[in-house]
Copies of this chain bind each other. A is one copy, B any other.
Amino acid sequence: MSIRIGIYGYGNLGRGVEAAIRQNEDMELVCVFTRRPPETLTVRSEGVPVYHINKAAEMKDKIDVLILCGGSATDLPVQTPEMARLFNVIDSFDTHARIPQHLANVDAAAKEGGNVALISVGWDPGMFSLNRLYMGAVLPEGKDYTFWGKGVSQGHSDAIRRVDGVLDGKQYTIPVPEALDAVRSGSEPTLTTREKHTRVCYVVAEDGADKAKIEKEIKEMPNYFADYDTTVNFITMDELKRDHSGIPHGGFVIRSGKTGFDKENTHIIEYSLKLDSNPEFTASVIVAYARAAYRMACDGLTGCKTVFDVAPVYLSPDSREDLIKNLL
């Protein structure tokens, strides 16, 4: 029998989840929930109904895991606890500083409903967090570094678009190669924000806009750009659409550490991602963890869990015996 999945929210992430479910034979997409009038939304999977979110409670017994695909700023803090009372749920809540509070809220709701809720699943938080944990446990005397990119930052692209005279824009975060090399040498360098990443912007300006002023305003924007070496390139709308419509991302988690009676040996562990589509990869991680959420619920567990709490064996469709035989 398939694991019955519901999608709650049909943006980039929801569409990625829809595609990922097709790659997992033990799963089946039951329906998509939307805040829009459902008749205005057509999903790509044939025969999958679209319901308004206010019908979610009615689907309680027809869905094994509900995948929440809203945003971390305002959607998930409300939706995840609300839905965790009704369903096993999974979200990609990614505001790192607010994870403990979100976890507490979701845990209470999931326990009330007797469900499993998996939060902050994706690649950072998610696979990167896991690697920070594994690396740190294995090499306790050392230092780890996380680099992001090359990739599109949605938040920074939005910030560019709010500048006066800007029609559209995209921002790429890029790790500094020399910083990566220094970390890989095992020297445990101290790196400033500016030394770790550069930011490159592609901006479409309004006709007759003051480009020098736009460039200055972007480069000096506090929190977003002021602490970085930023490059601003002005391009046409056609160029933006042709060359910058993808949502690639990726990054690196690297730890170096010492072992030996006199700490005479150095080890480097590196994990990296190079992703054509940030939302589709995030969705793929979420779908594997949806399987885990379902299995943990079948085992009688309840409450809010994170990737740290999930034994790897829960993630694969293969049996434990096959995994041990083929992958160990």
Is A315 interfacial (CB 8 A cutoff)? yes
Is A3 interfacial (CB 8 A cutoff)? no
A45 CB to closest chain B CB (Å) equals 9
Quick one: which of B266, B323, B325 contacts A276, CB cutoff 8 A? B266
Quick one: which of B130, B259, B312, B321 contacts A284, CB cutoff 8 A? B259
Q: How many residues of A contact B (CB 8 A)?
A: 70
A99, A100, A138, most chain B CB atoms within 10 A: A138
Pair A328/B125 contact, Cβ less than 8 Å: yes
Complex: A319 Cα to B285 Cα, angstroms = 25
What are the interface flags for A262-286 relative to B under an 8 Å C-beta threshold, 1 for contact and 0 otherwise? 0011111111111111001101110
Pair A280/B259 contact, Cβ less than 8 Å: yes
What are the interface flags for A128-163 relative to B under an 8 Å C-beta threshold, 1 for contact and 0 otherwise? 011111101111110000000000000000000000
Quick one: closest B residue to A259, CB to CB?
B280
Pair A328/B16 contact, Cβ less than 8 Å: no
Is A20 interfacial (CB 8 A cutoff)? yes
A113 CB to closest chain B CB (Å) equals 21
The B-contacting residues of A in range 282-328, CB under 8 angstroms, are 283-285, 288, 291, 306-313, 315-317, 320-321, 323-325, 327-328
> Which residues of B sit under 8 angstroms from A308, Cβ to Cβ?
311-313, 320, 323-324, 327-328
A127, A311, A315, most chain B CB atoms within 10 A: A311
Pair B309/A281 contact, Cβ less than 8 Å: no
Pair B280/A265 contact, Cβ less than 8 Å: yes
Complex: A140 Cα to B315 Cα, angstroms = 11
Complex: A125 Cα to B323 Cα, angstroms = 12
Pair B267/A273 contact, Cβ less than 8 Å: yes
> Which residues of B sit under 8 angstroms from A317, Cβ to Cβ?
137, 140
A304 CB to closest chain B CB (Å) equals 10
Is A19 interfacial (CB 8 A cutoff)? yes
Complex: A270 Cα to B271 Cα, angstroms = 6
> Which residues of B sit under 8 angstroms from A259, Cβ to Cβ?
16, 19-20, 23, 276-277, 280-281, 283-284
A23, A267, A273, A285, most chain B CB atoms within 10 A: A267
Report A's interface with B, CB cutoff 8 A. 16, 18-20, 22-24, 44, 96, 99-100, 103, 120, 125, 127, 129-134, 136-141, 184, 259-261, 264-277, 280-281, 283-285, 288, 291, 306-313, 315-317, 320-321, 323-325, 327-328
Ordered by A's residue number, 24 sampled pairs between the chains whose C-beta atoms are within 8 Å are: A19-B260, A23-B259, A96-B328, A99-B325, A100-B324, A125-B328, A127-B269, A134-B312, A136-B327, A137-B312, A138-B284, A138-B315, A260-B280, A265-B280, A266-B276, A267-B274, A267-B275, A267-B277, A267-B284, A269-B271, A271-B271, A306-B324, A308-B313, A308-B323
